[in-house]
Amino acid sequence: MNEPYLRLSDEGERRRENILAIAHREAGRIRHRRAVRRIGIAAIAIGLTAALAMQSRRWGASREIVQVRPDQHDPMPPVVGPVAPPVQRRAVAVRPPKEIVITVVKTDPGIARRLSVKPPTTGWERIDDERLLAELAAAHRPAGLAYVDGREVVLFRTSDGGAEWRIHRPFR
């Protein structure tokens, strides 16, 4: 239905509203099921993690070691649980307190001039009409100048013998 609104009969309007209400309820049920599924998956993951953590603690406590001091005739009461390895003490070097050093740095007064970037030189130069014609003749492209309507027009022959002209627009 590409039309924005079709006029329905009263019975059609009731059916339309009924279908819309059913669609809304079904969409709500789908959203609810998805949320319950996500919460269930998260709860299972948390439960498995907690069970694994508790079991790993049991696995660590299952090693029972009984210690007896050799210089006594009666054994010591048994020590249940994991025994830590003997602690070896390391010598720690004592660092002197950090010092703050303040110095004066002298700068070269001409450093900005020496290290500045020079502006690029232009790749062209301004020439007059005679020099233009002489340069074109030296490049085996003899040409002429004509002044039409206050504009300079460069006339020259092409390699196939035809005539060609270009309007020269001076920079002002």
Taking only the tens place, the pLDDT of each residue in 70-99 is 665 555 555 556 666 676 777 777 777 778
Residue where a domain stops, chosen among 19, 40, 66: 66
> Does the model's pTM come out above 0.85?
no
Residue 16 domain-assigned (yes or no): yes
Residue 114 domain-assigned (yes or no): no
User: Token pair 């309820």 is at which residue?
Assistant: 25
* b/e 138-148 (16+ beta carbons within 10 angstroms → b): eeeeebeeeee
In which residue ranges of the chain is pLDDT below 50?
1, 172
Residue 159 domain-assigned (yes or no): yes
Q: Which domain range does residue 143 map to?
A: 129-172
Residue 88 domain-assigned (yes or no): no
Given CA atoms 10, 15, 16, 20 in this order, what sign does their dihedral have?
positive
Average pLDDT across the chain, whole number: 78
Residue 119 domain-assigned (yes or no): no
Residue where a domain stops, chosen among 12, 41, 66: 66
Residue where a domain stops, chosen among 66, 94, 109: 66
pLDDT of residue 172: 47
